[in-house]
Amino acid sequence: MEQQQGNPAAKPLTETLRSEMRAKARALAESLLMFDDIEAFLDSEEQEIGRNGAPQTAFMRENEDGDLLLSAVFGADGRLVHYAAGSELHTASPQDRPALTIAELRNAAETFAREEYPDFPAGFDGREVREHEAGATFVYTQIASGIPLPESGFRIEVNPIGFVSVFIFEGRKPEPARPAKSRTPEQALRIFADRLTLKLGIHFLHKQAYEQGDDRLHLVYMAEAYASLLPADAEEQSPAVKPYANLLPDREDSHAETVPPDRQESCAQALEAARREQPELAPFLVYALQENVFPPAQDLLDAESEDGSETMSFRFAVRKNGLPIFKRELEADVNVEIDRGSGRPTFYLGSDIDAAELAALSAVPAFSEEEARRRLLASLRAKPVWTLERTGPAAERYRLAYRMEHRESGRLVMGVDAADGRILTCGFF
């Protein structure tokens, strides 16, 4: 069932209500000792339509570089729904004041919220706390059927000395209905298992992309792209959201066409250029230069030339024992541009794969793909979550789903290290 986004009841924007909002905006500006452009801030008043389709009144001021200094947005009922103060206003606070405890920071957050919402935090779960260098973020979420509702409730950021730098109220939402007939977590896991496909390859595990990342090459049974959310509704067959996009570039390995005859000579010249430029990688550039036999399409990743161009561009893969190597696309592959007339390379962009590291890496897995599947599936749990689908400018729908995640860390599972059996998880989901 579709529902309008939760928002306090709107009132006509009377002069009285407008005056109340301007007074609140002034009070917020005057509370900042480092902000002295109050009148210009008030003059920036603008009427707009919020994401929930309701009218809002916004005040905003930027610095000379166009960065946000101060903003305050009020909902149709005149209450504050968004507030943000630029870092130069709150990091300039006296630094000789001692940092506060988490309990004291929470008290500062709740005191700020109660100015607009006296019953805060009644009806919201405030257990989520994110500590960081800039202080702490307190998240107060609405709970439905024991599960947090995304994009509901409050988010409040407080700096180490108790200054509220961000305040966001996303609304109190109508209670969503559970499916009439729901799958169990075990059923969701079985569906996931039936769809799971693993592929053996050599992967550069970026520190930013994987929790276990060390910026080195690893032999990995990597999960092919999969739907990380499965609908809880037993009548629904399609994923509740778009499939989870793997971090790896797409690469087709099923083609078997050889390089067209009109490109064979240029291809050979490009490969020879690659051998000269990066001789240490030559053993890992997959090609067969014998009696006009050239690399199939999966090894020659790309060959193109614009009409009328005097050059042709080639892109080759780096492999070991036939296994593809995955890094960021332009870092792992070899790119060569050849002059059609002279056959000389006019451009070369080599691979930054460490040849010595690649040579030392075993390309033989310590266990089978079936064992990797067993380990990956054993590491998962199907966690019930509400997902949010926008069905119009002012309408949304919550749907119950199961999120496939690591049972200990709560992160998305990416694959299994084929050498030591470690489960690899995403560094940011």
Q: Residue 334 and residue 71: Cα distance in Å, rounded?
A: 48
Between 65 and 347, whose confidence is greater?
A: 347
Last residue of a domain, one of 120, 137, 171: 171
In the prediction, which pLDDT does 30 show? 87
Assign 3-class secondary structure to the chain: CCEECCCCCCCCCCHHHHHHHHHHHHHHHHCCCCCCCHHHHHHCCEEEECCCCCEEEEEEEECCCCCEEEEEEECCCCCEEEEEECHHHHCCCCCCCCCCCHHHHHHHHHHHHHCCCCCCCCCEEEEEEEEECCEEEEEEEEEECCEECCCCEEEEEECCCCCEEEEEEEECCCCCCCCCCECCHHHHHHHHHHHCCEEEEEEEECCCCECCCCCEEEEEEEECCECCEEECECCCCCCCCCCECCCCCCCCCCCCCCCCHHHHHHHHHHHHHHHHHCHHHHHHECCCCECCECCCCCCEEEEECCCCCCEEEEEECEEECCEEEECCHHHHCEEEEEECCCCCEEEEECCCCCHHHHHHCCCCCCCCHHHHHHHHHHCEEEEEEEEEEEEECCEEEEEEEEEEEECCCCCCEEEEECCCCCEEEECCC
Closest residue by Cα to residue 21 from 52, 50, 48, 59: 59
210 and 279 part of one domain:
no
In the chain, the percentage of residues whose pLDDT exceeds 70 is 82
In the chain, the percentage of residues whose pLDDT exceeds 90 is 45
In the prediction, which pLDDT does 215 show? 92
Last residue of a domain, one of 149, 171, 193: 171
Is residue 2 within 8 Å of 395, Cβ to Cβ?
yes
- Asked if the model's pLDDT at residue 254 lies above 50, the reply is no
61 and 206 part of one domain:
no
In the prediction, which pLDDT does 137 show? 96
In the prediction, which pLDDT does 267 show? 80
In the prediction, which pLDDT does 37 show? 84
96 and 136 part of one domain:
yes
- Residue 177: inside a domain, yes or no? no
- Residue 73: inside a domain, yes or no? yes
131 and 279 part of one domain:
no
- Asked if the model's pLDDT at residue 219 lies above 70, the reply is yes
- Residue 95: inside a domain, yes or no? yes
151 and 19 part of one domain:
yes
- Residue 180: inside a domain, yes or no? no
The number of beta carbons lying within 10 Å of the beta carbon of residue 218 is 22
Q: How confident is the model at residue 63 (pLDDT cuts 50, 70, 90)?
A: confident
166 and 234 part of one domain:
no
Domain with 147 in it: 3-171
- Residue 356: inside a domain, yes or no? no
396 and 415 part of one domain:
yes
148 and 194 part of one domain:
no
Mean pLDDT of 259-272: 75
Interval 152-173: pLDDT, tens: 999 999 998 888 999 999 988 8
Between 64 and 162, whose confidence is greater?
A: 162
347 and 366 part of one domain:
no
Interval 174-183: pLDDT, tens: 889 899 999 9
In the prediction, which pLDDT does 248 show? 40
- Residue 402: inside a domain, yes or no? yes
- Asked if the model's pLDDT at residue 295 lies above 60, the reply is no
62 and 127 part of one domain:
yes
Lowest-confidence pick of 172-186, 302-316, 400-414: 302-316
226 and 205 part of one domain:
yes
**β-bridge mates for residue 84, sequence order:** 71, 166
Question: What pTM does this model have?
Answer: 0.76
In the prediction, which pLDDT does 188 show? 93
- Residue 136: inside a domain, yes or no? yes
- Residue 21: inside a domain, yes or no? yes
Q: Residue 67 and residue 315: Cα distance in Å, rounded?
A: 41
Q: How confident is the model at residue 265 (pLDDT cuts 50, 70, 90)?
A: confident
Interval 66-110: pLDDT, tens: 888 899 999 988 999 999 998 777 654 555 567 789 999 999 999
342 and 420 part of one domain:
no
Interval 180-195: pLDDT, tens: 999 999 999 999 999 8
Mean pLDDT of 116-129: 91
- Asked if the model's pLDDT at residue 255 lies above 50, the reply is no
In the prediction, which pLDDT does 304 show? 63
In the chain, the number of structural domains is 3
